[in-house]
């Protein structure tokens, strides 16, 4: 089980809280009325995601699913700033999608060489020196740091291979990959030898090559969850080209012509776009086949009808593999690049991201005033500049999107009533 393939897992992450500002006063011999000198608190650590090209599974998250960044240090005397909290760097395989577990929306696609900050650390609080005024020369208070962002996030791995080898179990996908690349997948003469996608870099010289993935054997009903293949269909999503491997010798008693239809049917059921993906039919095991048989001739006619190019190969002898690589390279040159998914999360979603419990909103009435409270609102209010028109519009959109307006109406708010959200008051208008 230590080598179990994990490509879909939910984790909890929390950025560090900001440090508190300090309350202190300058004390020095022969210096009277030194004044406030409390330093500011440090920023909390961020939760940062980074690509690890040496990983191809989310196995590292099997036993560790909670990540909490360091809190910022408190401010100190002498206007000294508190220490910033250390960031937590979480490494994931290239091609991992960060998704919201509640909505399924894509937050970010870890496909390119850039780090992504999922949760920002809280801001440090101001020390009491910021609150000194001509009429308040001895402020005995400071500001607390804000809380760091927290949330649950779903990690879903969709490999970035340009080429996917698909087909029924035991047709020779792993054998072909081991011959055309440096990959060393497990190979044996029984079904479901491959329990996880294997990646291999195929090079044909002159700087030309491609990244190929051997997708574990599909069976009828894979799109509904039968067999192993259903768990790995997502890894074909990004493939620009499919190498559809069939056993032309029919060593397991299957008809290669029927195999093409059955596998393609599963692809369409999983995704119409996947069903339309360009394919090259790879007729393997020609060393064991009667190439003049009626079955082989019918297979060739079938491929002509479907418009698929066919390459006849033997993973045992190596025959036809060079031609397969050359056709794959030339076909890839005509296809669009690997898919990179755009974020589906809106700015309004990001503003209140967090766990379900942190999004709870409480509305209570005090005479004609309606008080609105919630942990997410407390943190969100610090992001708004109420003197700026666009920022104020953004504030209103977030309240509407997250049901605050609906809750106010349920509580009986009427036009002209005062609504108070953490010291910010406004008149309710329909």
Q: pLDDT digit string (tens) for 304-315?
A: 999 999 999 999
CATH topology of domain 1-157: Spo0b-associated Gtp-binding Protein; Chain: A, (2.70.210)
DSSP H or E run through 349:
helix 347-351
Rounded (to 5) percent helix, strand, coil in the chain: 25, 25, 50
The pLDDT value recorded for residue 222 is 44
The pLDDT value recorded for residue 187 is 46
The pLDDT value recorded for residue 301 is 93
The pLDDT value recorded for residue 219 is 56
Maximum CA extent, the chain: 108
**Ranked by mean pLDDT, which of 58-62, 287-291, 309-313, 417-421 comes out on top?**
309-313
For residue 91, is pLDDT > 90?
A: yes
Question: Could you say which of 3.40.50.300, 3.60.20.30, 1.20.1050.10, 3.30.70.920 is the CATH number of the domain covering 163-332?
Answer: 3.40.50.300
Q: How far apart are CA 360 and CA 315, in angstroms?
A: 59
Question: What pTM was estimated for this model as a whole?
Answer: 0.72
Ranking 48-52, 162-166, 233-237, 401-405 by mean pLDDT, the lowest is 233-237
> Per-residue confidence at 393, pLDDT binned at 50, 70, 90?
confident
CATH topology of domain 355-427: GMP Synthetase; Chain A, domain 3 (3.30.300)
For residue 75, is pLDDT > 70?
A: yes
The answer to whether residues 48 and 118 touch, using CB atoms and an 8 Å cutoff, is yes
Which whole number is the average pLDDT over 112-129? 91
For residue 350, is pLDDT > 70?
A: no
For residue 325, is pLDDT > 50?
A: yes
For residue 236, give the nearest of 208, 269, 188, 283 by alpha carbon: 269
> Per-residue confidence at 333, pLDDT binned at 50, 70, 90?
very high
368: number of Cβ within 10 Å: 10
**Ranked by mean pLDDT, which of 40-44, 193-197, 341-345, 418-422 comes out on top?**
40-44
Q: How far apart are CA 132 and CA 103, in angstroms?
A: 47
Angle between the 256-270 and 294-306 helix axes, to the nearest 10 degrees? 30
Q: How far apart are CA 283 and CA 249, in angstroms?
A: 9
> Per-residue confidence at 44, pLDDT binned at 50, 70, 90?
very high
Collapse the DSSP code of 256 into the 3-class scheme (helix H, G, I; strand E, B; otherwise coil) and give the result. Answer: helix
Which whole number is the average pLDDT over 8-30? 89
For residue 195, is pLDDT > 50?
A: no
The pLDDT value recorded for residue 190 is 41
Which whole number is the average pLDDT over 133-147? 86
The pLDDT value recorded for residue 227 is 45
Which whole number is the average pLDDT over 329-334? 93
215: number of Cβ within 10 Å: 28
Which whole number is the average pLDDT over 313-322? 93
Same fold, 1-157 and 355-427: no
The pLDDT value recorded for residue 302 is 92
Compute the radius of gyration of the chain from its Cα atoms. Answer: 30
The pairing of beta strand 47-51 with beta strand 88-92 = parallel
Which whole number is the average pLDDT over 266-276? 85
Q: How far apart are CA 380 and CA 390, in angstroms?
A: 15
For residue 410, is pLDDT > 70?
A: yes
The pLDDT value recorded for residue 223 is 45
**Buried/exposed 267-285: b ≥16 CB within 10 Å, e otherwise:** beebeeebeebebbbbbbb
Read off the pLDDT of residues 197-244 as tens digits, 9 standing for 90 and up. 777 888 877 777 888 888 876 655 544 554 444 556 777 888 899 999
For residue 158, is pLDDT > 60?
A: yes
The pLDDT value recorded for residue 146 is 86
The pLDDT value recorded for residue 380 is 77
Domain boundaries, the chain: 1-157, 163-332, 355-427
> Per-residue confidence at 2, pLDDT binned at 50, 70, 90?
very low
Quote the distance between the C-alpha of residue 305 and its chain's center. 39
């Amino acid at each position: 089980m230590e080598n179990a393939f994990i490509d879909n897992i939910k984790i909890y992450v929390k950025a560090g809280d900001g440090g508190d500002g300090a309350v202190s006063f300058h004390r020095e011999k022969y210096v009277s009325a030194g004044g406030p000198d409390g330093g500011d608190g440090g920023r909390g650590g961020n939760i940062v995601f980074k690509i690890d090209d040496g990983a191809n599974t989310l196995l590292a998250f099997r036993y560790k699913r909670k990540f909490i960044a360091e809190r910022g240090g408190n401010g100190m005397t002498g206007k000294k700033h508190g220490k910033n909290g250390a960031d937590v760097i979480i490494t994931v395989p290239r091609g991992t999608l960060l998704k919201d577990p509640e909505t399924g929306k894509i937050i970010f696609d870890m496909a390119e060489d850039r780090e992504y900050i999922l949760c920002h650390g809280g801001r440090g609080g101001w020390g009491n020196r910021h609150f000194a005024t001509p009429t308040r020369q001895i402020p005995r208070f400071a500001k607390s740091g804000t809380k760091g962002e927290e949330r649950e996030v779903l990690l879903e791995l969709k490999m970035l291979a340009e080429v996917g080898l698909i087909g029924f179990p035991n047709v020779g996908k792993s054998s072909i990959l081991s011959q055309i690349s440096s990959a060393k997948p497990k190979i044996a003469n029984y079904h479901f030898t491959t329990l996880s996608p294997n990646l291999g870099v195929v090079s044909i010289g002159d700087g030309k090559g491609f990244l190929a993935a051997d997708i574990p054997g599909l069976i009828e009903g894979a799109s509904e969850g039968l067999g192993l293949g259903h768990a790995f269909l997502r890894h074909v999503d990004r493939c620009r080209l499919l190498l559809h491997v069939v056993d032309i010798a029919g060593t397991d008693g299957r008809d290669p012509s029927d195999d093409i239809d059955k596998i393609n049917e599963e692809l369409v059921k999983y995704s119409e776009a996947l069903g339309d993906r360009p394919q090259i039919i790879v007729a393997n095991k020609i060393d064991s086949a009667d190439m003049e048989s009626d079955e082989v001739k019918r297979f060739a006619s079938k491929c002509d009808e479907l418009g698929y190019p066919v390459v006849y190969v033997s993973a045992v002898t190596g025959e036809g593999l060079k031609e397969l690589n050359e056709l794959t390279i030339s076909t890839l040159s005509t296809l669009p690049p690997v898919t990179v998914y755009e974020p589906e999360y809106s700015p309004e979603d990001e503003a209140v991201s967090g766990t379900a419990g942190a999004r709870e909103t409480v509305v209570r009435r005090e005479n004609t005033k309606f008080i609105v409270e919630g942990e997410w609102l407390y943190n969100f209010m610090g992001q708004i500049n109420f003197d700026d028109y666009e920022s104020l519009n953004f504030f209103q959109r977030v309240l509407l999107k997250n049901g605050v307006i609906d809750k106010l109406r349920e509580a009986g708010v009427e036009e002209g009533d005062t609504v108070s959200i953490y010291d910010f008051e406004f008149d309710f208008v329909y």
